[in-house]
A and B are shown apart, each in its own frame.
Chain A
Amino acid sequence: MAVPAAELRSKAVVRSGGAVGLRRVLGPDHRMGYLFVAPIAVCVLSLVAYPFCYAIYLSMTHKLVGLPPIFVGIENYIRLTWDGFFQRAVVNSFVFTFGSVALKLVFGVVMAVVLTSNIRWRSFWTGVLLVPWVAPTVVSALNFLWMFDGSLGVLNYLLVRVFRILPQGVGWLSEPGTAMASVIAVNVWRGFPFFGISFLAGMKAIPAELYEAAAVDGANVLQRFRHVTLPGIKNILIIVVLLSTIWTFNDFQIIYILTKGGPGGTTMVMPVFTYETAFGAQRLGEAIAVALYLLPVLAVTIMVLARYMRKGRRR
């Protein structure tokens, strides 16, 4: 912003001989405006825009740690396309993301519905149900790692000794059959309160008369939900689902702490694969290509989401 602003200023001074023309071009509050947004502009440029462009460049190089990068074009992307480990990470990422988001949606709707029903101590209950969202994710992941423990974990203790549902303990995170479901469960546990609280905010904004009118017309609970609640929270629903899809797809810490992508790659998702390629195999260029591989999809999602979020604000 600074350079064009300076140019414009000198031109404006020549042309109209004063601050009037400048004000017309840059807006009445441009001085304070540019001063106030300068730190944000620095932040966006140096911490997101520049690293992003640098990432695109690095993804087109062979970059080993400690050596200068060698430009190779889209070779990394082509190689990844036919790499079986990478293909499995992509599939796992989609399974993890869609499984988690779908369940968070269900739990979130349930949470919002019970919190808007006729109950006492509403803010107390809301506060309790939001705890997983506030607590440090690493702590939660470690808690589950301990509870899921095959030999001393409390989950097996409950299922085998207390409720007698299972004949013997299960290695929840160490067996290929249960590992993905377990990491999804942890992600859902941590993320559903955000869905719930957002839907709650949306449902509070729906006028009570609409529900009364629907009740007078003889609509039952489900019909009222379908025809009054859902249309009322449609925008919020789209925003929350898209936002959570981006976050879940890029969730690193839960899987890194619980399984590191194991056992045998059954929970290896793209962010963990990126990290392992970069700092395990020390191949930086390829690692960034993994992170950027689905960039077109991410970009479209972000654009759609940003549009909805701005629209939500204007209402």
Chain B
Amino acid sequence: MKGRGSLAIERTLSYGVLVLLAILVLFPFYWMIITSFKNEEQMRSIVSMFWPKPFAIENYQQLLSKTEFAAWYGNSVFVAVSSTLLATAVGTIGAYALARLKFLGRGFLASATLITYLVPPSILFIPLYKQMQGLGMANTLSGLIAAYPSFTVPFVTWLLMGYFESIPEELEEAAMIDGATRFGAFYRVVLPLSAPGLLAAGLYAFTQAWNEFLYALVFITDAKLRTLPVGLASFITGDVYGWGSLMSGAVLTTLPVIAAYIYLQKYMVEGLTAGSVKG
């Protein structure tokens, strides 16, 4: 059996590795934040490299007044919120049917949904773009909202199928014996019990839509209609803007996702593992 000494060594080693990993993980964000508060002059000089001196907010002012960042923010919120509502609604009822209801073709459709989740966007982006063009939806935000279910819906469905399968079927049977319809059992018994799962699924759909880059890059040609990821990336080619403005945009883009994550970490961690694997 292990002695007290070796336990202490193991623990110290664990903390050492954790601190190293945490620095590795957090440093880019620390650097992003302090860069966003440095003015152009400070960026060039190498005095006070690791802390902005003085704290300058001009990057943020410039970003909001001289670029279309505010419009992009609105676009991203609109696209991500719509996609989340759509994917959660479609995924919830679909996952319930695939997890619980008995009907011909269920197994086939469950497999098809899973395979869909695994088909990479790099294969689909050109034909989807042509499709959206044909429908007159290229270069519109509704085109993005129409295309995003290709990855949000399969993921949400797969995640919630696992969730519904873990709820004991007896609960619904009891409700139906008491006179509830199948739909009533789903609506009044299963849905309330699945609230944490729905929250995790919705959060993931939101993050995926908020972070999506390839479709938004290809579908949208009008600079005003860009979403945040594409808008931010466009700053590197338009060399008018310095790193300070770019990083202040990066901070504002990360904010909603990280805020949601800090408040709802527990659900997101559960959802993350349920999405691909179940222990």
Pick from A28, A30, A36, A47: contact of B147, CB below 8 A.
A47
**A interface residues (Cβ-Cβ under 8 A, vs B):** 1, 25-30, 32-34, 36-37, 39-41, 43-44, 47-48, 50-52, 54-55, 58, 107, 110-111, 114-115, 117-119, 123, 125-140, 142-147, 149, 152, 154, 157, 161, 189, 193-194, 197-198, 200-202, 204-205, 215-216, 221, 235-236, 239-240, 243, 246-247, 249-250, 252-253, 256-257, 270-271, 274-275, 278-279, 284, 287-288, 291-292, 295, 298, 302, 305-306, 309-310, 312-313, 315
Chain B window 252-279, contacts with chain A (Cβ cutoff 8 Å), 1 for yes, 0 for no: 0110011001100110110011001111
B171, CB-defined interface residue at 8 Å: no
Residues of A near B97 (CB, < 8 A) are: 29, 32-33, 36-37
Q: A43-B150, A137-B229, A302-B119 are in contact. List 20 more A-B contacts (CB 8 A).
A: A27-B102, A28-B102, A37-B94, A39-B89, A44-B113, A51-B124, A51-B128, A55-B123, A115-B18, A118-B10, A128-B26, A143-B29, A146-B31, A152-B43, A197-B273, A216-B1, A247-B120, A252-B121, A275-B214, A295-B123
Q: Is the CB of A131 within 8 A of B113?
A: no
CB closest residue in chain B, given A149? B243
Cα separation A47 to B215 with both chains bound (whole Å) = 13
Q: How far is the CB of B268 from chain A (nearest CB, A)?
A: 7
B106, CB-defined interface residue at 8 Å: yes
Within B156-195, the residues touching A (CB, 8 Å) are: 157, 161-162, 165, 182-183
**B interface residues (Cβ-Cβ under 8 A, vs A):** 1-2, 7, 10-11, 14-15, 17-18, 21-22, 24-26, 28-29, 31-32, 35, 43-44, 46, 49, 89-91, 93-94, 96-98, 100-106, 109-116, 118-124, 126-128, 130-131, 146-147, 149-150, 153-154, 157, 161-162, 165, 182-183, 207, 210-211, 213-214, 218, 228-230, 232-233, 236, 243, 246-247, 250, 253-254, 257-258, 261-262, 265-266, 268-269, 272-273, 276-279
Residues of A near B182 (CB, < 8 A) are: 29, 32
Q: Is the CB of A40 within 8 A of B127?
A: no
Cα separation A73 to B153 with both chains bound (whole Å) = 34
Pick from A107, A110, A136: contact of B253, CB below 8 A.
A136
Pick from B127, B154, B183, B272: contact of A52, CB below 8 A.
B127
Residues of A near B130 (CB, < 8 A) are: 54, 58, 284
Q: How far is the CB of A221 from chain B (nearest CB, A)?
A: 8
Pick from A36, A125, A144, A271: contact of B96, CB below 8 A.
A36
Residues of B near A54 (CB, < 8 A) are: 127, 130-131
Q: How far is the CB of A45 from chain B (nearest CB, A)?
A: 9
29 A–B pairs (Cβ distance < 8 Å), ordered by A: A29-B102, A36-B101, A37-B109, A39-B94, A40-B90, A40-B113, A47-B128, A48-B119, A52-B127, A55-B126, A58-B127, A58-B130, A111-B21, A128-B22, A133-B272, A135-B257, A137-B229, A142-B236, A143-B31, A193-B25, A197-B273, A246-B120, A250-B123, A252-B214, A271-B122, A302-B115, A302-B118, A302-B119, A306-B111
Q: Is the CB of A154 within 8 A of B31?
A: yes
Q: Is the CB of A198 within 8 A of B276?
A: yes
Q: How far is the CB of A198 from chain B (nearest CB, A)?
A: 5
Residues of A near B265 (CB, < 8 A) are: 123, 127, 130
Residues of B near A138 (CB, < 8 A) are: 211, 213, 228-230, 232-233, 253
User: Looking at A110, A154, A287, which has the most chain B CB atoms within 10 Å of its CB?
Assistant: A154
Q: Is the CB of B254 within 8 A of A139?
A: yes
Interchain pairs with CB closer than 8 A, number? 299
Cα separation A281 to B278 with both chains bound (whole Å) = 44
Q: Is the CB of A253 within 8 A of B214?
A: yes
Cα separation A246 to B93 with both chains bound (whole Å) = 28
Q: Is the CB of A278 within 8 A of B126?
A: yes
CB closest residue in chain A, given B32? A143
Q: Is the CB of A25 within 8 A of B276?
A: no
Q: How far is the CB of A155 from chain B (nearest CB, A)?
A: 10
Q: Is the CB of A288 within 8 A of B25?
A: no
Given contacts A1-B105, A138-B233, contact A197 B269 (CB under 8 A): yes
Residues of A near B14 (CB, < 8 A) are: 114, 117-119
Pick from A36, A37, A136, A250: contact of B211, CB below 8 A.
A136
Q: Is the CB of B233 within 8 A of A40?
A: no
Q: Is the CB of A252 within 8 A of B122?
A: yes
Residues of A near B207 (CB, < 8 A) are: 134
Residues of A near B211 (CB, < 8 A) are: 136-138
Given contacts A47-B128, A246-B118, A271-B122, contact A135 B279 (CB under 8 A): no
User: Looking at A40, A54, A133, A189, which has the most chain B CB atoms within 10 Å of its CB?
Assistant: A40
Q: Is the CB of A131 within 8 A of B25?
A: yes
CB closest residue in chain B, given A133? B272
Residues of B near A194 (CB, < 8 A) are: 272, 276
CB closest residue in chain B, given A247? B120
